[in-house]
C-alpha cells in the first residue's frame, strides 16, 4: 500500500505549489517509506508516498501517460493492490497498449486510458486512487468495493483537496478542523458513522464502491458496485465446495509479492484458514516456511476474564494451528508500559479519535510483524460475511428495531448533557441511519422471517462495524509501513456468500458453518471447533484504573473541549452502567475509552465545536 495526496483548483495556478503539496505528501510518509514523488501543473498537483511491494524498481509514482503523442498527461496516484493485474495487462496488450513495467500501477493507468472510469469494474483488489485527466479537465477519486483502502477529500469553491488519510488534508492551510455537536454520536460510537461522512465539517470520505468526479462544472458521485440479492440455487454440498474454491483462489492471488510476506494467526477459524492456505502455497512453490504472528498481553495469565465476545485467549490455539500448518510463529506480548508508550503514535496514526488499547496493541503487533514481513494476510471480515458474532445468535439483539451489533451495551450518548441530547437527538440519529441503510439494501422478494432478518443483520454489520475494523487495520499497519491484505473482503466471495440463506450459513448449528465445513480437513479439531473470540483486549486492572481515573478527571476539568457537552453528574452513572457483562465489550475501560479519546483528539487537533 501507499499514501496518495493531491490538490485540484480550476481557478488558480498550482504549478508553483510544490512546497504545499510536499507538506501534504510528507504527512503520509509512514504509508510509503520507500519513495516519494510530486507532479505539478497549472490546475492539478499530485503527490505520492510509496511502499514498494510489486516491481520494486519500476512502479514509481505519480505515473503519467498520454492518449496520443503531444496530448495532455493523464496522471495516476494509486494505493493498494489489483490482484488480477496480470490478466488485465494481457487484455490491454492485446488492445495495443505497450507497458514498460511489471507493476499493477501501470496496468491501472492504462486501464483508465482504455476504459475510462468504468475500468474500476474490471479490477479485483483493494485500492484507492486518483486520476487527473488534463485533456478532460477532470479528477477521478476511486475506492474499492468494500472500502478496505481509505480516501478522504475536502471540497471548497473552485477546487478539492484529497488524501489517503485526513492528515494530508489537515496539512493544507485551506482546511480547518471543526465539528458540529451533531457529530458526537459518531465520535462516541464510530460504528454509527454513515458511509462517506466524518466527524469533521467539510471532510468527506469516498464511499466504498464509488467514484467521485470533479470537473469545472462541479462534483458528482457514482456508485459502481453494491450487494444485490439473488436466489441461491446451489445445494449445501455445492455451496461448501464453491466457498472452498473461492477462498483457495483468493488467498493464492493475494500471495503475490516481491517482498517478505506473512500472515496474522490468532488461532481462530478465520485466520487459521488463511494461514493454512498460505502455508500450503509456500510449500508448493518451494518457499521458506510461512511466518505467522499473534498478540497477547503481559499478565494475561492472571488478568484475563472470559466474556461473551472473548471467551478464550488466543495463545494456545495460535500455537496449535502454527504447529499443524508448519509456520514459524511469533507471539507478540504487549505490556502495560509498551501499550502506554504506543498510545500517542496510535493517535497520530488515526487523525480521528483512537480506540485506545485496541489501537495501541495492534500498532505494537504490526511493528513486530514489519521487522520480518512487508505484507501480511489477515482473517478480517469473515465474521461479517459468514455470520460469526454472538449477536447473530441472540434473539433480543436480532429482533431489536435497531442495529443488532449494538447488543445490550450502554450508549455513551445517554451521558451527554440533557440540553445537548435534546438538540442533537442521538437516538433519532441512530434510528434514521438504521432505516436509511435498510431502505438502501437489496432484498429478495418473498424472503421473510429469520432468513430475511438475518440478511439485514449481516448487511448492517458490513456497514459501520466493518468500516471501523478495516479503518483500524489500515491505520495501524500503514503507520509502520506494513501492507495488510484481507482475503475475506474479496467482492466475489462476499457476493456469493451474501445470497446463501441463513439456515445454510448455520448448517452445523453454529456460527460460520460454511467456512468450517469447507476447511474441515485443513485444521486441527480444537481450532476448527473453537468459538468466536474477538481481537484480544487487555484486562489489566492497572490500565482499567487509569482509564476510569482519566474519565473522572475529564469530567471535572472545565478546560476540557467536552466541558458543557457531558452530564458531569452522570459520569459516575456511566462508569457503573459500563461495569456489567455485555455481548460487545470486554470491561468498563473498553466501554468508556471513547470519552477519553475524543477529549484528547479535540485537544491535540485543536478541534472547535460549531
How many whole angstroms from its chain centre is CA 381?
Answer: 10
Give the integer Cα–Cα distance in Å for 2 and 189: 28
> In a 3-state reduction of DSSP, which class is residue 207?
coil
Q: Are 526 and 317 in contact (CB under 8 A)?
A: yes
Backbone angles phi, psi at 180, to 5 degrees: -105, 155
Out of 2, 20, 489, 610, the active site residue is: 2
Give the integer Cα–Cα distance in Å for 365 and 109: 34
Q: Are 191 and 468 in contact (CB under 8 A)?
A: yes
Q: Are 188 and 427 in contact (CB under 8 A)?
A: no
C-alpha dihedral sign at 400, 463, 188, 532: positive
> In a 3-state reduction of DSSP, which class is residue 249?
helix
How many whole angstroms from its chain centre is CA 391?
Answer: 21
Report CA Rg, the chain: 24
- Measured CA angle at 204 (ends 199, 206), to 5 deg: 130
Backbone angles phi, psi at 62, to 5 degrees: -55, 145
Q: What does the block give as the cell for 479? A: 503507520
> In a 3-state reduction of DSSP, which class is residue 586?
coil
Give the integer Cα–Cα distance in Å for 372 and 10: 45
DSSP letter for 122, please.
G
Is residue 2 annotated as part of the catalytic site, yes or no? yes
Give the integer Cα–Cα distance in Å for 531 and 550: 34
Q: Are 402 and 434 in contact (CB under 8 A)?
A: yes
> In a 3-state reduction of DSSP, which class is residue 154?
strand
Q: Are 404 and 458 in contact (CB under 8 A)?
A: no
Burial of 75 (0-12, 13-18, 19+ CB in 10 A): buried
Give the integer Cα–Cα distance in Å for 460 and 100: 44
> In a 3-state reduction of DSSP, which class is residue 599?
helix
Q: Are 125 and 485 in contact (CB under 8 A)?
A: no
Q: How many residues does the chain have?
A: 610
> In a 3-state reduction of DSSP, which class is residue 151?
coil
Sequence-ordered list of residues with C-beta below 8 angstroms from that of 42, at least 6 positions apart, any chain: 13, 14, 15
What are the DSSP calls for 500-566, one per residue?
A: S-HHHHTTTSSTTHHHHHHTTTTS-HHHHHPPP-PSP----HHHHHHHHHHHHHHHH-TTSTTTTTB
Q: Residue 57's CB: how many other CB atoms inside 10 A?
A: 10
The residues annotated as belonging to the active site are 2
Amino acid at each position: 500500500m501507499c499514501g496518495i495526496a493531491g490538490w485540484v483548483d480550476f481557478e488558480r495556478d498550482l504549478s508553483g505549489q510544490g512546497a504545499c503539496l510536499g507538506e501534504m505528501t510528507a504527512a503520509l510518509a509512514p504509508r510509503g517509506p520507500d519513495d516519494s514523488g510530486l507532479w505539478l501543473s497549472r490546475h492539478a498537483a499530485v503527490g505520492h508516498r510509496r511502499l514498494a511491494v510489486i516491481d520494486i524498481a519500476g512502479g514509481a509514482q505519480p505515473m503519467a501517460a498520454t492518449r496520443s503523442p503531444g496530448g495532455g498527461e493523464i496522471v495516476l496516484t494509486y494505493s493498494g493492490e489489483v490482484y488480477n493485474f496480470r490478466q488485465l495487462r494481457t487484455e490491454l496488450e492485446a488492445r495495443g497498449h505497450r507497458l514498460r513495467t511489471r507493476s499493477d500501477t501501470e496496468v491501472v493507468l492504462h486501464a483508465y486510458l482504455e476504459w475510462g472510469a468504468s475500468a474500476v469494474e474490471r479490477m479485483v483488489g483493494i485500492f484507492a486512487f486518483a486520476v487527473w485527466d488534463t485533456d478532460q479537465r477532470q479528477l477521478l477519486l476511486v475506492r474499492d468495493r468494500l472500502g478496505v483502502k481509505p480516501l478522504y477529500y475536502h471540497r471548497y469553491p473552485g477546487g478539492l483537496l484529497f488524501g489517503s488519510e485526513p492528515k494530508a488534508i489537515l496539512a493544507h492551510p485551506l482546511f480547518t478542523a471543526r465539528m458540529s455537536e451533531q457529530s458526537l454520536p459518531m465520535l462516541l460510537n464510530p460504528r454509527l458513522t454513515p458511509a462517506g461522512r466524518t466527524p469533521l465539517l467539510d471532510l468527506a470520505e469516498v464511499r466504498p464502491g464509488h467514484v467521485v468526479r470533479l470537473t469545472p462544472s462541479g462534483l458528482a458521485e457514482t456508485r459502481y458496485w453494491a450487494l444485490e440479492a439473488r436466489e441461491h440455487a446451489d445445494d449445501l454440498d455445492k455451496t461448501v465446495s464453491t466457498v472452498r474454491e473461492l477462498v483457495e483462489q483468493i488467498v493464492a492471488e493475494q500471495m503475490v509479492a516481491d517482498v517478505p510476506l506473512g500472515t496474522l494467526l490468532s488461532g481462530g477459524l478465520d485466520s487459521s484458514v488463511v494461514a493454512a492456505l498460505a502455508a500450503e502455497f509456500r510449500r508448493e512453490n518451494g518457499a521458506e516456511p510461512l511466518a505467522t504472528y499473534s498478540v497477547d498481553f503481559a499478565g494475561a495469565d492472571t488478568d484475563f476474564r472470559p466474556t461473551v465476545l472473548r471467551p478464550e485467549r488466543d495463545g494456545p490455539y495460535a500455537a496449535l494451528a502454527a504447529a499443524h500448518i508448519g509456520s514459524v510463529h511469533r507471539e507478540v506480548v504487549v505490556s502495560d508500559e509498551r501499550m502506554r508508550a504506543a498510545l500517542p503514535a496510535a493517535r497520530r496514526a488515526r487523525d480521528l479519535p483512537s480506540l485506545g488499547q485496541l489501537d495501541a496493541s495492534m500498532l505494537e503487533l504490526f511493528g513486530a510483524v514489519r521487522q520480518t514481513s512487508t505484507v501480511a494476510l489477515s482473517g478480517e471480515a469473515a465474521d461479517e460475511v459468514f455470520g460469526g458474532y454472538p449477536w447473530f445468535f441472540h434473539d433480543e439483539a436480532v429482533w431489536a428495531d435497531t442495529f443488532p451489533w449494538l447488543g445490550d451495551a450502554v450508549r455513551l450518548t445517554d451521558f451527554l448533557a440533557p440540553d445537548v441530547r435534546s438538540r442533537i437527538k442521538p437516538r433519532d440519529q441512530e434510528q434514521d441511519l438504521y432505516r436509511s441503510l435498510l431502505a438502501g439494501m437489496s432484498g429478495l422478494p418473498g424472503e421473510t422471517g429469520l432468513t430475511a432478518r438475518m440478511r439485514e443483520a449481516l448487511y448492517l454489520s458490513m456497514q459501520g462495524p466493518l468500516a471501523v475494523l478495516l479503518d483500524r487495520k489500515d491505520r495501524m499497519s500503514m503507520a509502520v509501513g506494513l501492507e495488510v491484505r484481507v482475503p475475506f473482503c474479496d467482492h466475489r466471495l462476499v457476493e456469493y456468500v451474501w445470497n446463501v440463506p441463513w439456515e445454510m450459513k448455520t448448517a452445523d448449528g453454529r456460527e460460520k458453518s460454511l467456512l468450517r465445513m469447507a476447511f474441515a480437513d485443513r485444521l486441527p479439531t480444537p481450532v476448527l471447533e473453537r468459538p468466536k473470540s474477538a481481537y484480544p483486549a487487555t484486562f489489566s486492572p492497572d490500565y482499567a484504573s487509569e482509564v476510569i481515573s482519566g474519565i473522572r478527571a475529564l469530567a471535572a476539568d472545565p478546560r476540557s473541549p467536552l466541558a458543557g457537552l457531558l452530564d458531569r453528574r452522570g459520569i459516575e452513572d456511566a462508569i457503573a452502567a459500563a461495569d456489567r457483562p455485555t455481548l460487545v465489550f470486554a470491561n468498563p475501560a473498553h466501554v468508556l475509552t471513547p470519552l477519553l479519546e475524543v477529549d484528547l483528539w479535540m485537544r491535540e487537533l485543536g478541534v472547535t465545536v460549531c
